[in-house]
């Protein structure tokens, strides 16, 4: 019998969203179209139009050692060209941001190849070969996992995910990399990931309404969907805990659990 891949338990809205974001067969909704050059500007690793920096010759030119794994794995484009590894890092507010750090890691690893993720409480870094990163970053900024007010693009000084929201509903950023354009009711980036001022303002669009965000979020909260109201998710976590506990202490008791 062929194994049918499972993604996440539960019947609640956050659980369903977790499954959607992780499942590579689900095409995530594109909500905006930030120009690729602007994505490159916000990330700040290279100037638009500038060549990619290389850290090794293209694989086809180099003498690869004899290795069965190398024969099995098809390199991603950036690896083929010898691109350096660069990053994008998102900060996700606790206040119903569409996605949160662990789901980002799960989603990235489920949907992309050649990525290295690092998960912290407020932010999630994703490191990839540069040309692949740019494609991926644009997808992530354009799609439904990004909200202009509650998702931040931040290389350093990332705190803010747990701070209250400002008078325009924006997540706090000590560097004020983005500001509120009151005329257009949009969020505009004025600094890049590491807070170097941009030479042009880049709009990432209008924030979603809180009502919609509650439908899109993966975060369980007492003032939204409480995890304990999703019995399957609650029991899933407790079961992992129980099995690990028994496995490390009285492994014979795992039988039948």
- Residues lying near another protein in the complex (CB under 8 A): 92, 94-95, 99-103, 118-122, 157, 159-167, 169, 172, 174-176, 195, 218-223, 226-228, 233-234, 236-238, 240-242, 244-249
Smaller CB separation from another protein, 138 or 177: 177
The two three-digit tokens of residue 5, written as one number: 């891949």
Query: At its nearest, how many Å lie between another protein and the CB of residue 56?
Result: 27
Query: At its nearest, how many Å lie between another protein and the CB of residue 216?
Result: 13
Smaller CB separation from another protein, 79 or 171: 171
Report how far residue 23's alpha carbon sits from residue 5's, in angstroms, rounded to the nearest whole number: 9
Report how far residue 94's alpha carbon sits from residue 217's, in angstroms, rounded to the nearest whole number: 10
> Residue 116 belongs to what H/E stretch?
strand 116-119
Smaller CB separation from another protein, 14 or 82: 14
| Distances in whole angstroms, Cα of residue 151 to Cα of each of 5, 25, 101, 107, 122 | 29, 24, 11, 16, 10
Query: At its nearest, how many Å lie between another protein and the CB of residue 57?
Result: 32
Smaller CB separation from another protein, 100 or 129: 100
Angle, helices 36-43 vs 130-142, to 10°: value is 110
Query: At its nearest, how many Å lie between another protein and the CB of residue 192?
Result: 15
């Amino acid at each position: 019998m062929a194994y049918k891949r499972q993604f996440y338990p539960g019947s609640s809205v956050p659980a369903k969203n977790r499954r959607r974001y992780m499942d590579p067969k689900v095409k995530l909704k594109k909500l905006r179209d930030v120009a690729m050059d602007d994505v490159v500007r916000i990330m700040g690793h290279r100037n638009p139009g500038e060549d990619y920096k290389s850290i090794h010759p293209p694989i086809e030119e180099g003498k690869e050692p004899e290795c069965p794994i190398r024969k099995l794995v098809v390199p991603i484009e950036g690896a083929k060209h010898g691109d350096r590894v660069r990053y994008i890092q998102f900060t996700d507010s606790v206040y119903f941001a569409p996605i949160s750090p662990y789901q980002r890691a799960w989603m990235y690893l489920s949907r992309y190849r050649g990525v290295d993720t690092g998960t912290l409480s407020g932010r999630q870094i994703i490191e990839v070969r540069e040309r692949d990163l740019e494609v991926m970053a644009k997808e992530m900024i354009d799609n439904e996992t990004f909200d202009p007010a509650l998702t931040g693009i931040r290389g350093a000084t990332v705190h803010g995910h747990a701070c209250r929201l400002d008078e325009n509903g924006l997540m706090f950023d000590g560097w004020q990399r983005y500001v509120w354009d009151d005329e257009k009711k949009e969020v505009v980036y004025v600094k890049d990931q590491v807070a170097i001022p941009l030479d042009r303002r880049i709009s990432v669009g209008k924030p979603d309404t809180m009502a919609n965000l509650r439908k899109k979020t993966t975060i369980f909260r007492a003032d939204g969907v409480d995890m304990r109201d999703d019995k399957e998710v609650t029991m899933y976590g407790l079961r992992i805990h129980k099995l690990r506990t028994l496995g490390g202490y009285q492994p014979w008791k795992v039988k039948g659990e």
